[in-house]
Chain A
Amino acid sequence: MSEQKPPEKPPKKEEPKKKKKNGEEEEEEEEKDLEADEELGNILKNARNRDPQELNQEYRQKSGE
């Protein structure tokens, strides 16, 4: 059994706000289509389950030197 801690669930996101000139809100608007893409959501969810070590923030790939 893996000793790796399961990745924490992503924090709940607020409902996307209406598009304004504020940069962050523009970004939320842009992500809407991708967030609504169920198939993409499932691929990312499966990736989390399959490769927890890769997704561990503590693990930093280092080169051999």
Chain B
Amino acid sequence: MAISKVCGIENEFGFSVLDQGGNQLLGDEYREILRSFVKEFLKYQKAVRHDKSKEARRTSVITLEDVAGLFKETAHDVLADNIGPELDGFLGNGARFYMDVDHPEYSTPECLNPLDLVVHDKASELVMMDALRLYLNQLASRKDRIVLHKNNSDGAGKSYGSHLNILLSRDLVSEKDNFLYLLQHYLPFQISRIILTGGGKVGSENDRPSCAFQLSQRADFFERLVAINTMESRPIFNLRDEPHATAKKYFRLHDISTDALMCEYADFLRIALTQVVLAMIEDRFLEEVLLPKKPVEAIIKISRDLRFKEMIDLEGGQRMTGLEILRKYLLAAGKYLNVHPMTDQHTQAVAKALELSEILEKDPMKTFGYLDWTTTWALTKLQPDAALGFSKLFRKVASDGLYYELVKSGKIKRLVTDEQILAAKFDAPANTRAFLRSGLLKKLGDRVVEVDWSGIKIRVNDSVDISVDLMDPVLDNSTAVVLQSILGL
């Protein structure tokens, strides 16, 4: 039986620094400003430092290499991307804020419900705006201009991620047969999901076939089917398995194929549909294999298929469009939920996805405000002489960013409220371990000597530390109630 789907999103934000003359700063100068941006915000927030190297030693990291036996991959060195605790910390809402290679990155607290994660994903934008305000008010020694974007590509051939993380049953990858079933049924969903959850992008990159506009920000950057790396020769299905939880019970699916999203509906569908499809896979509900013969070519083709007419050759000899593949999943999801109910949110997501998929086929512009890519496409069609600029402005993370202007005027369809998003800057969801992390950080922050996803160490006195185990990501109701009374949350 499928387990509860604990999810989180990591977004690397686009970060540009321009000098007074409008020239972009690159290299060491850029990196120094980025370091200050991250470091000073963590200091201001009194964030508790996160030392990833300690976490790596404490929690076992299992690679899928031995299980799958299919891919010649080397074990991922979790210490390789350790950037130091002064640039890496946990905030009071249970989220992680840090510098990752050349970007500020935000990992949401763990969430169970799709809408909770939408709220926390949107809150990440507010946190980035706060960090920018702090930097500009207190630290900018020169008149540099910093621009933040919630996107996945700099338009100059470099991509950065918006990773969706989901904890799944370890059984899914404990045997080769199970793992192959996961791959066969998840890959076609990943490839066709961009029809609802693509961010939209002007032009092409990475030497892929040229196009004026495409559905996905990331599609051009996938070069392989399956691999463990995330930054070069990117795979559609990533093998990194760092559960940050009881490894015997949980496998962490690190899905690097999704785009960063601004629209609440698109984000909701990304999370909820993925949870349902993975539940169907855990329950072995799916029978028809819809795997394209050439998955990398397929995602690039679907990303350019703005009218849903391109046929994709499947392994079984069938040919169908990306939209037809996606619809097969949505129809199966509807049937699955009838016999294996999840939550009302999941039922609503599947119904909305089916509705939007039908509208898309007739008139994509009618999904303006629901989906990122159609909203961006419309903007670029309305302003063809500045298509690239408007596509970027839509994703600009600042109070005058175009997305927020469209929200103010009611052009963006809403699922959550501004009040919920604001609250998520400070509070974690009450049904995951993030609630306990957040509570302890807020109440005992000055005594927390170590924190990571799966545990917290608190100093009781000069000679005694106590460790709080957070290896189980789900918090049951009774524990939450007890914590509320003890911590006064």
List residues of A whose CB falls within 8 A of some B CB: 4, 7-8, 10-11, 23, 27, 30-31, 33-35, 39-41, 43-44, 46-48, 50-51, 53-57, 59-65
Contacts and interface: CB of A to CB of B under 8 A. Distances in A.
Closest 6 CB pairs of A and B: A55-B389, A64-B102, A64-B30, A30-B365, A55-B386, A63-B158
B16 interface: yes
Given A54-B396, A55-B389, A57-B386, 15 more contacts: A11-B385, A30-B366, A31-B378, A31-B382, A34-B365, A34-B382, A40-B382, A40-B406, A40-B409, A41-B382, A47-B390, A53-B18, A55-B386, A60-B155, A63-B103
A51 B22 CA distance: 12
Contacts of A63: 14-15, 102-103, 154, 156, 158, 160
Interface string B368-399: 10000000001101111110111011001000
A54 B392 contact: yes
A44 B363 CA distance: 22
Interface residues of B, number: 47
19 contacts: A10-B383, A10-B385, A30-B364, A35-B382, A40-B382, A41-B382, A43-B406, A43-B411, A44-B383, A57-B386, A59-B389, A60-B154, A60-B155, A61-B14, A61-B147, A61-B155, A63-B14, A63-B15, A64-B26
Interface in B10-61: 14-16, 18, 22, 24, 26-27, 30-31, 34
Instruction: Tell me the dominant secondary structure on chain A's binding face.
Output: helix
Contacts of A27: 381
Nearest to B394: A47
B22 A8 contact: no
Interface string B93-110: 000000001110000000
Point out which of B15, B364, B405 has the most chain A C-beta atoms below 10 A from its C-beta.
B405
Contacts of A65: 26, 101-102, 158
Contacts of B207: none
A25 to B, nearest CB: 13
A46 B26 CA distance: 30
Contacts, number: 111
B103 A40 contact: no
Nearest to B28: A64
A35 B102 CA distance: 39
A48 B363 CA distance: 27
Nearest to B33: A64
A55 to B, nearest CB: 3
Contacts of A39: 409, 411
B400 interface: yes
Nearest to B30: A64
A22 B18 CA distance: 43
Interface in B112-169: 147, 149, 154-156, 158, 160
A51 B383 contact: no
Nearest to B365: A30
A41 B379 CA distance: 10
Interface string B53-85: 000000000000000000000000000000000
A8 B385 CA distance: 8
B383 A50 contact: no
A57 B364 contact: no
B311 interface: no
Point out which of A40, A44, A64 has the most chain B C-beta atoms below 10 A from its C-beta.
A64
Contacts of A64: 15, 26-27, 30-31, 34, 102-103
Interface in B214-256: none
B294 interface: no
B385 A4 contact: no
